A and B are shown apart, each in its own frame.
Chain A
Amino acid sequence: MAVKATKSKSKRASKAAKSNLQASGEELLQYYREMLMIRRFEEKAGQLYGMGLIGGFCHLYIGQEAVVVGMQAAITPDDAVITSYRDHGHMLACGMDPRGVMAELTGRAGGYSHGKGGSMHMFSKEKNFYGGHGIVAAQVPLGTGIAFAQKYNKTKNCCLTYFGDGAINQGQVYESMNMAALWSLPVIYVIENNKYAMGTSQERASAGTELYMRGTAYGIPGEQVDGMDVVAVRAAAEMAVQHCRDGKGPFVLEMMTYRYRGHSMSDPAKYRAREEVQKVRSERDPIDFVRQLLLDGDHTDEAALKQMDREVKDIVSDAAEFAQNSPEPDPSELWTDILVDA
């Protein structure tokens, strides 16, 4: 197999994905709304955390919304998704109920895992969302195994397997890539390169920072994509998904993105300058970008966007309300779901 690893030239688009960089006003509105939903949800989660209503670790997805929304636009509900602990955005994008997600964050009975999983461990078999994994990179072989099952069952589906620029250095990533290439498994490795793994910048952790090339040794094609541009993400995703559906095996997409908030909630943020964050927020924000496209293209107006903002806020407020009012799990839940009755 020829090794194909290309790096995007233009700022906003990956080269091979140029073919489909047009999105209709309707599509843009949908992506805008989905990204806004994730952002408002995450802001609310941060607020509830500050109030002591959410415990433990809580990893927000603010800044990275275009990645998951663009990827999701290229798959069908029958495809599978798996990711790390930074998972709230992925769950909302998969169509999971914001109430159930938020109530899991607050550790309540109404949460997706009845309060037994928490922020990092949530699943929805119904929506083909396979977690929510707290061990860095564990989801990579798991996602590869989901793709193995998709192939074993002779489906044309694929599995989006998301992980970070820190996770990329785990050995199991390469063990997975090797098997995926060897057996032509329909898995898309989506590297969310948000520049940092906790407080370690990518440069300090990775020898060779062109992460989309990491599959090269296995003959896996890779693309670097502007992960702040939902349309560029979608275009790259469509290409990768087609690659999988055609039976050509795995694909690597490196999404250049950025997280605005700390790694988890208690992050003193000494490893980067406030100006760096401000610069990305003001110049490359994925939501502002689509907002501008919508207004420039006359697809909508300020009033309509404001209205949409209110609707999204209402849904998030309702989720927060639900998450606070849902009762704590019954003590008997301690002893359920340890084993399935044989």
Chain B
Amino acid sequence: MPIQVLMPALSPTMTEGTLAKWLKSEGDEVSSGDVIAEIETDKATMEVEVVDDGVIGKLLVAEGTEGVAVNSPIAVLLADGEDASAADAVAAPAPAASEVPASAEAAAPAAAPPPAQSVAAEPDWTGPTVTMTLREALRDGMAEEMRRDDSVFLIGEEVAQYEGAYKVSQGLLEEFGDERVIDTPITEHGFTGLAVGAGFMGLRPVVEFMTFNFAMQAIDHIINSAAKTLYMSGGQMGCPIVFRGPNGAASRVGAQHSQCYASWYAHCPGLKVISPFSAADAKGLLKAAIRDPNPVIFLENELIYGESFDVPDDADYTVPIGKAKVLREGDDVTLIAHSIMVGRTLQAAEVLAADGLNAEVIDLRTIRPLDIETIIESVKKTNRVVSCEEGWPFAGIGSEIAMVVMENAFDWLDAPVGRVAGLDVPMPYAANLEKAALPQVEHIVDAAKAACYRT
């Protein structure tokens, strides 16, 4: 059977082109890979190669012909022993450019997203507790999981011998040795990629970033390599990994060391993002994150590492990812916060109470998946909501909360959703300017009052 050589598409958008030049003539012998013609598109001139061996039986399109449709026959190749008359038999009419096969013209109806799963809250803890700092709780959470599972290891700068730039990994090197508590060179892009590769193999790396500011050097591996691989592999392989470290503004360290990344990571499907406040939540959620088979971003806050909290005294106590917590009940206005802002929001609630406003305070704990259920339930009770975060306002967590509230409880709102956020500026160094750039208790109080139409 003679073989038709078709006008090829050389890019996904090409539908037709000009046959600029024939480089072979009828009767020429060709073998797979030989260039037989040049074609021109609006973008470039390109070469057409044959993929079969044979003799050119017939050239069907004259040199210089414009508008040759992709997939229409341009030449006929004769196999061994076939003669030229066979070529005539196959010169089929050219299909119109619009008949290009398989370009999925009729778009399939997009499937609806699965409904958000409702996550059960952890049972109220009634057992014994110990008082410890957030720093100690994080360390204990890691140590317990490392005891429980040999595939868990900690890797990062200064995590082993120095015991953490912020002393979070105290004692871990001594207990687990240098095969599982690994000091890296200063090489964020490299060690993050390395840890993700180890995760592909089924290990459970805990990657400490000295602070999340430096993870920007590694964000390609966090998103392109860790978050997307499960999807791109059709579910064959994912990456059970935790990226943790201090996030948000520290104190007087200037713009490059003071930034909140919650909305950056929360933007991306394939990641879970946690940002706890209390030591009990931090420990319970870190343990849950390490056990989770997915990549988890765990945003801590340096300024509260030294704060003390009561923590359940139980190595099996975990906190579910994806469940917010109502820390203070109220019915006038809902205040939503995460991480260090939870503390300021609780203080604001006290100030509001003195003014006769009863605020409900929600600690998100997990940013993604967002606990929409808890937010909406509260909004239906208070009819007013203010989102409080330290990060920049534009496309921030508050923007998402406002949208979620409109989508789910628009008719329940008695006032526009309020937003408290960091100022839309790089973090300044001067003490007065830094303070002015960060949301303080009074900003939350003012926003809550505005939502209640009080002054």
Could you list which residues of chain A lie within 8 angstroms of chain B, going by C-beta atoms? 43-44, 46-47, 49-53, 55-56, 62, 80, 82, 106, 111-117, 121-125, 130-135, 138, 140-150, 152-153, 171-172, 175-176, 178-179, 182, 260-262, 265-269, 274, 281, 324, 328, 330-340, 342
Q: How far is the CB of A308 from chain B (nearest CB, A)?
A: 15
Taking A113-B236, A145-B197 as given, write out 17 further A-B residue pairs in contact, using a Cβ cutoff of 8 Å, ordered by the A residue number: A50-B70, A51-B9, A52-B101, A56-B12, A113-B234, A124-B236, A130-B237, A133-B225, A142-B196, A147-B197, A148-B198, A175-B185, A182-B185, A267-B46, A268-B46, A332-B111, A335-B113
Check: B85 CB closer than 8 A to any chain A CB. Answer: no
Q: When the two chains form their complex, are residues A51 and B46 in contact, meaning their CB atoms are under 8 A apart?
A: no
Q: When the two chains form their complex, are residues A152 and B194 in contact, meaning their CB atoms are under 8 A apart?
A: no
Q: Which residues in chain B, 356-382, are within 8 Å of chain A measured between CB atoms?
A: none
Q: When the two chains form their complex, are residues A52 and B110 in contact, meaning their CB atoms are under 8 A apart?
A: no
| Residues of chain B contacted by A56 (CB below 8 angstroms) | 12
Of the A-B pairs whose beta carbons lie under 8 Å apart in the complex, a sample of 8, sorted by A's number, is A47-B8, A56-B12, A112-B233, A113-B234, A131-B233, A142-B221, A337-B234, A337-B235
> Can you name the residue of chain A whose Cβ is closest to the Cβ of B44?
A268
Bound-complex Cα distance A114 to B108 (A): 16
Check: B229 CB closer than 8 A to any chain A CB. Answer: yes
Q: When the two chains form their complex, are residues A176 and B46 in contact, meaning their CB atoms are under 8 A apart?
A: no
> Can you name the residue of chain B whose Cβ is closest to the Cβ of A120?
B232
| Residues of chain B contacted by A82 (CB below 8 angstroms) | 197
Known: A44-B51, A138-B193, A179-B185. A112 touches B234 (CB 8 A): yes
Q: Which residues in chain B, 181-230, are within 8 Å of chain A measured between CB atoms?
A: 184-185, 187, 189-203, 220-221, 224-225, 229-230
| Residues of chain A contacted by B33 (CB below 8 angstroms) | 43, 62, 260, 281
Bound-complex Cα distance A211 to B153 (A): 34
Best-surrounded residue of B51, B194, B200 (most CB of chain A within 10 A): B194
| Residues of chain B contacted by A260 (CB below 8 angstroms) | 33
Bound-complex Cα distance A266 to B71 (A): 16
Known: A123-B236, A175-B189, A335-B111. A143 touches B197 (CB 8 A): yes
Q: When the two chains form their complex, are residues B10 and A50 in contact, meaning their CB atoms are under 8 A apart?
A: yes
Bound-complex Cα distance A267 to B233 (A): 28
Bound-complex Cα distance A265 to B43 (A): 13
Known: A131-B229, A138-B220, A146-B201. A324 touches B102 (CB 8 A): yes
Check: B118 CB closer than 8 A to any chain A CB. Answer: no
> Can you name the residue of chain B whose Cβ is closest to the Cβ of A117?
B232
Bound-complex Cα distance A46 to B6 (A): 12
Q: When the two chains form their complex, are residues A116 and B234 in contact, meaning their CB atoms are under 8 A apart?
A: yes
| Residues of chain B contacted by A131 (CB below 8 angstroms) | 229, 232-233
| Residues of chain A contacted by B32 (CB below 8 angstroms) | 43
Bound-complex Cα distance A152 to B198 (A): 9
Check: B434 CB closer than 8 A to any chain A CB. Answer: no
Of the candidates B113, B200, B203, which one forms a contact with A152 in the assembled complex, judged by CB atoms under 8 Å apart? B203
Q: When the two chains form their complex, are residues B270 and A339 in contact, meaning their CB atoms are under 8 A apart?
A: yes
Q: How far is the CB of B80 from chain A (nearest CB, A)?
A: 11
| Residues of chain A contacted by B101 (CB below 8 angstroms) | 51-53
Contact with A along B98-117 (1 / 0, CB 8 A): 00111110001111011000
> Can you name the residue of chain A whose Cβ is closest to the Cβ of B203?
A149
Q: When the two chains form their complex, are residues B224 and A50 in contact, meaning their CB atoms are under 8 A apart?
A: no
| Residues of chain A contacted by B51 (CB below 8 angstroms) | 43-44, 46-47
Q: When the two chains form their complex, are residues B43 and A179 in contact, meaning their CB atoms are under 8 A apart?
A: no
Best-surrounded residue of A172, A268, A336 (most CB of chain B within 10 A): A172
Of the candidates B9, B202, B270, which one forms a contact with A338 in the assembled complex, judged by CB atoms under 8 Å apart? B270
Check: B256 CB closer than 8 A to any chain A CB. Answer: no
> Can you name the residue of chain A whose Cβ is closest to the Cβ of B100?
A52
Bound-complex Cα distance A114 to B231 (A): 10
Contact with A along B1-24 (1 / 0, CB 8 A): 000001011111010000000000
> Can you name the residue of chain B whose Cβ is closest to the Cβ of A123?
B233
Of the candidates A53, A117, A132, A141, which one forms a contact with B192 in the assembled complex, judged by CB atoms under 8 Å apart? A141
Bound-complex Cα distance A326 to B226 (A): 29
| Residues of chain A contacted by B71 (CB below 8 angstroms) | 50-52
Q: When the two chains form their complex, are residues B46 and A142 in contact, meaning their CB atoms are under 8 A apart?
A: no
> Can you name the residue of chain B whose Cβ is closest to the Cβ of A114?
B234
Q: When the two chains form their complex, are residues B193 and A142 in contact, meaning their CB atoms are under 8 A apart?
A: yes
Of the candidates B10, B194, B225, which one forms a contact with A179 in the assembled complex, judged by CB atoms under 8 Å apart? B194
Of the candidates A55, A62, A123, which one forms a contact with B229 in the assembled complex, judged by CB atoms under 8 Å apart? A123
Number of residues of chain B lying within 8 A (CB) of chain A? 73
> Can you name the residue of chain B whose Cβ is closest to the Cβ of A104?
B234
Q: When the two chains form their complex, are residues A52 and B102 in contact, meaning their CB atoms are under 8 A apart?
A: yes
Bound-complex Cα distance A57 to B196 (A): 25
Of the candidates A133, A143, A331, A339, which one forms a contact with B108 in the assembled complex, judged by CB atoms under 8 Å apart? A331
| Residues of chain A contacted by B184 (CB below 8 angstroms) | 179
Q: When the two chains form their complex, are residues B269 and A338 in contact, meaning their CB atoms are under 8 A apart?
A: yes
Known: A149-B198, A182-B185, A332-B111. A337 touches B231 (CB 8 A): yes
Q: When the two chains form their complex, are residues A141 and B234 in contact, meaning their CB atoms are under 8 A apart?
A: no
Of the candidates B197, B234, B292, which one forms a contact with A146 in the assembled complex, judged by CB atoms under 8 Å apart? B197
Check: B238 CB closer than 8 A to any chain A CB. Answer: yes
Q: When the two chains form their complex, are residues B237 and A125 in contact, meaning their CB atoms are under 8 A apart?
A: yes
Q: When the two chains form their complex, are residues A53 and B187 in contact, meaning their CB atoms are under 8 A apart?
A: no
Q: When the two chains form their complex, are residues B238 and A142 in contact, meaning their CB atoms are under 8 A apart?
A: no
| Residues of chain B contacted by A261 (CB below 8 angstroms) | 49
Check: B438 CB closer than 8 A to any chain A CB. Answer: no
Bound-complex Cα distance A301 to B232 (A): 44
| Residues of chain A contacted by B12 (CB below 8 angstroms) | 52, 55-56
Q: When the two chains form their complex, are residues A145 and B198 in contact, meaning their CB atoms are under 8 A apart?
A: yes
Check: B131 CB closer than 8 A to any chain A CB. Answer: no
| Residues of chain B contacted by A150 (CB below 8 angstroms) | 201
Q: How far is the CB of B79 from chain A (nearest CB, A)?
A: 13
Known: A141-B221, A149-B203. A342 touches B230 (CB 8 A): no
Of the candidates B44, B190, B232, B294, which one forms a contact with A141 in the assembled complex, judged by CB atoms under 8 Å apart? B190
Bound-complex Cα distance A122 to B202 (A): 18
Q: How far is the CB of A130 from chain B (nearest CB, A)?
A: 6
| Residues of chain A contacted by B194 (CB below 8 angstroms) | 141-142, 144-145, 148, 176, 179
Known: A135-B224, A342-B293. A331 touches B110 (CB 8 A): yes
Check: B129 CB closer than 8 A to any chain A CB. Answer: no
| Residues of chain B contacted by A44 (CB below 8 angstroms) | 51
Best-surrounded residue of A123, A133, A149, A153 (most CB of chain B within 10 A): A149
Q: How far is the CB of B151 from chain A (nearest CB, A)?
A: 8
> Can you name the residue of chain A whose Cβ is closest to the Cβ of B48?
A50
| Residues of chain A contacted by B407 (CB below 8 angstroms) | none
Check: B134 CB closer than 8 A to any chain A CB. Answer: no
Best-surrounded residue of B43, B109, B111 (most CB of chain A within 10 A): B111
3 closest pairs, A vs B, by CB? A145-B197, A141-B193, A175-B190
Check: B321 CB closer than 8 A to any chain A CB. Answer: yes
Q: When the two chains form their complex, are residues A117 and B233 in contact, meaning their CB atoms are under 8 A apart?
A: yes
Q: How far is the CB of B445 from chain A (nearest CB, A)?
A: 38
Best-surrounded residue of B11, B51, B109, B198 (most CB of chain A within 10 A): B198
| Residues of chain A contacted by B231 (CB below 8 angstroms) | 116, 337-338
Check: B45 CB closer than 8 A to any chain A CB. Answer: yes
Bound-complex Cα distance A121 to B224 (A): 11
| Residues of chain A contacted by B198 (CB below 8 angstroms) | 145-146, 148-149, 152
